[in-house]
Amino acid sequence: MMRQYELVDRVRRYNPATNEALLNRAFVYAMKAHGAQKRASGDPYFSHPLEVAAILTDLKLDDATIAAALLHDTIEDTTATRGQIDKQFGKDIGALVEGLTKLKKLDLVSKRAEQAENLRKLLLAIADDVRVLLVKLADRLHNMRTLQWVPAEKRNRIAEETLDIYAPLAGRIGMHDMREELEDLSFRQLSPEAYQSIETRLANLRKTNKSIIKEIEDELTEELAKKKIKAKVKGREKRPYSIWKKMERKAVGFEQLSDIFGFRVIVPTADDCYRAVGIVHTKWAFVPGRFKDYISTPKQNDYRSIHTTVFGPGKQRVELQIRTQEMNDIAEYGIAAHALYKDNVGASMDSLAQESSAYAWLRRTIEMLAEGSSPEEFLEHTKLELFHDQVFCFTPKGRLIALPRKATPIDFAYAVHTDIGNNAFGCKINGKIAPLVTELQTGDEVEIIRGEGQHPPAAWESLVVTGKARAAIRRSTRAAVRAQYLGLGRKMIERAFARAAKPWSEERLNKSLSRLARASVEDVFAAVGRGEMKADDVVKAVHPDWREERKPVNKAPRSEGWFGLSRVASLKFRIPGFRGSVTGKPEDMSAPIPIRGINGDLPVRFAPEGGAVPGDRIVGILTPGEGITIYPIHSPALKEFDDEPARWLDVRWDIDDVTTQRFPARLLLRAKNQPGTLAQVAQVIGEHGGNIDNVHMDRPSQDFTQITIDLGVYDLKHLNAIIEQLRAKPVVSSVERYNG
C-alpha cells in the first residue's frame, strides 16, 4: 500500500505549491475512520481510497479533489458525518464527499430503481461540481481493476453498469483512455471467451506486424521532416472491446478488419495538422469516405483531431490521427486536461471545467434528465443520452446540432427546442420534403415544419433515439391523457352534484381535499376520470350529510335488447348538426356527457366487438385507467356490467352532420363461395364511402363463406345504406350488423 509521503510526492511533482497539511490530514482521517475494515480481497479498506487518489494524481488534479478521493467513502461506510467533514476540511470538500455518497435506506421496489436513484443523485452532484465525476470515475476504475475479488453474483451487474453508464460518461467528458480501460475490464468480465479470443489474435498480430509498424513510423516521420514539420509518430493498437464492437457493427470477422493498428501523429500547431494532411495525401492515396475534420468541427466532448486513412507503404491501409500535443492531452484526459494549459497548475477544477464545452453539454443533459420521470425511465434516458456515436446536422441558420447515430428529424426537432419537437408535423432535409422517420446523416440541413396545436403522437416514442426526445414525448402524452381524464372527471363530478341536488364549486371541493386524500382539485378530477374514485364519494366528501338513494334496477326483457335502463333513464341524444340544448340554455349539468369520438377531449374508446356509430342509442362504461368504453344500448356485452351500477355513465352523441370522422362497426356476411365474391363486397363498401379495417373469413360449407368485416362509417344512416347495397348483390346471401 502506498505510504503517506509517497502520495504527497506524487502531487508535488505537478503542483509544487500543494497544501501538504490538507493532504496529510485527509490521509490520517480516512485511515482512522476506516480502521480495521477490509476489502473483499483481504486488503485494508483504506487501500482503496488511496489508490483512487493515486489515479487522480495522474490527471494532475487539485488538492481538494485528491483530499475528497481519500475521504470519498467515509460518510457512506464509517461513522463520519457531513458535518464532521465540513468542520475538518471545509464545505467545498464536504460537498464533494456528500455528492459521492450513495443514498441509504431507499424504500424502492427494485434494485434497478435503487440504482437509478443513486445515479440521479450522483449526476445532480456532478452538475454542481465536475470533480465529483472525476473522483467517481477513478473510484469505479479501481473497483473494476479489482473485480475478481467481488462475489461472483455481483460481478456482472457491476460490469454492465460500468459499460452502460460510467464508460460512456468518461467518453462524454473526453477521457478516452479511462473510457477504453473501463470498457475492456467490463468486456473481459461479461464476455471472457470473446475477450480472450481477441487478445490471442492481437498477440499474434503484434509479432507479425512489429517490423511493419516501425517501418511506417519511420517513413511518416521522415516524410514530414522533409517539409520541415517536426512530428512524433506512434503506432497504436485498438483495444479488444473497440475491435469487438466494430466486428458486431459491420458484421465482419477479425481478419477482415484493416484498421486494428493506427498511427497518432503529433505536430506543433493546428496549421501543421493541415499541412501534414496535404503531405500524407500527396505521398499516398487516401481511402475515400475516411476523412474527418474534428478540428474545424470539434465533438461535444472537446475532442479535436484530423482522421484520415491512406494506402501506405506496401499498400497497407494506414489509419492516421493528426493533432497537436494540446489536442492529444484533451483527447486522453478530457476535462482534466484544461488544467495543464494554465499558469496555476493544480488550480480548482471547478473553475477550469467551465471552459469545457463537454462539461456544458453534460450539465444541460443532466438538467434535462432530472425532470421528474420515474427512476427506471431516468436510467433508460441516461443510457440513451450517453451511449451513442454522433452525426452532425445543421439548422437553416447554420446552427450545429450533434445527434446520435440513427437519429431522425424528430430527435433533431427536440434537440433544438422541446416546443419545436412538440409542434412538428413535417420536415425538409437539404431543401426537400422528407418523412420525419428519415435517418439523418452528417452534413444534413434540417428544417422542421411546425403547426400550432400539434401534439406528438405516442407512437413517436418508439421512433426516437435520444433521451430528451423520448422524455418530452412521454411528458406530452401523459399531459394529454391527464387532461382527458381531468375533463371526464370534472363532467362526472358536476353531474353527480346535479343529480344529488347539491351545490357545487371548486372552492367547496378544495376545502374537502383532506377527506379524499388528494393534494389538489385537479388530482380529484383525474382520479374520478380514471375510475380510481367514485363521483358520488366526492359529493359525500363535500356534503357529509348527503345519502345516496339508488332506485331498484328494472331490467327489460332480453328480447327488447335493453339492459338496466334505470341506470341511464335520463339518456338524451344530440340532434346532428345542432349544438347546445334544445332550449338554447347553458348545458344542464345533469344531462348526459357529450361524446365526439376518439379524437375528442375525453378518454373514449368503442366496444371491441362491433363498436358504435352516431345514431345508435349508447351507454358508457367506465373502466379504471382506460376511460369510457361506448356500447350500443342493445349490446349483449353490457350484461356483464349489470352488477356494477357505479360504472355506468349517461352519454350522448355530439357529432355534426358534416363530420369527416368514421366510427367502428362490424358486419357479418354469408356469401357464395365463388371467384370475385370478396372483390364485389369490397367494391360496394368502397363506392359508398366505407373504410375496411379488417376482414376475417370462415368456410362453414363448401358452397358458402362467412365473412366478418370491421369497417368505419360516418353514422347509422351511412351504415344502413351500405348494408342495403350489399344485400342487393347476388353473391351475398345475407348480411347483418354484429353488436357483440
Annotate 11-51 with three-state secondary structure. HHHHCCCCCHHHHHHHHHHHHHHHCCCECCCCCECCHHHHH
Cell readout for 135 is 473522483
Is 77 known to be catalytic? yes
Cell readout for 538 is 366526492
CA distances from 681 to 98, 453, 610, 733 (A): 72, 39, 19, 12
76 neighbors 101 (Cβ within 8 angstroms): yes
Q: CATH 3.30.70.260 in the chain, residues?
A: 663-738
Strand partners, 261: 237
Catalytic entry in 9, 20, 43, 76: 76
CATH superfamily of 193-341: Beta Polymerase, domain 2 (3.30.460.10)
Instruction: Determine the Cα–Cα distance for residues 688 and 507; give it in Å rounded to an integer.
Output: 52
DSSP 448: E
Q: CATH 3.30.460.10 in the chain, residues?
A: 193-341
Instruction: Determine the Cα–Cα distance for residues 489 and 681; give it in Å rounded to an integer.
Output: 43
Instruction: Determine the Cα–Cα distance for residues 318 and 260; give it in Å rounded to an integer.
Output: 9
pLDDT at 561 (0 to 100): 37
Q: Which helix (H) or strand (E) holds 92?
A: helix 91-99
Q: Which fold has domain 4-191?
A: Hypothetical protein af1432 (1.10.3210)
CA torsion, points 489, 494, 497, 503, in degrees to nearest 10? Answer: 130
Q: CATH 1.10.3210.10 in the chain, residues?
A: 4-191
pLDDT at 558 (0 to 100): 37
Q: Which helix (H) or strand (E) holds 59?
A: none
Residue 611's SS3 state is strand
Give CA angle at 117 (113, 120), nearest 5°: 135
487 neighbors 529 (Cβ within 8 angstroms): yes
pLDDT at 113 (0 to 100): 61
Q: CATH 3.10.20.30 in the chain, residues?
A: 388-465
Catalytic entry in 9, 20, 43, 77: 77
CATH number attached to the domain at 663-738: 3.30.70.260
State in words which class domain 388-465 has. Answer: alpha beta
22 neighbors 89 (Cβ within 8 angstroms): yes
Cell readout for 686 is 368502397
Residue 614's SS3 state is strand
Q: Which residues, given as ranges, of the chain have pLDDT below 70?
A: 102-121, 123-125, 127, 258, 314, 336-390, 484, 548-602, 625, 646, 656-659, 740
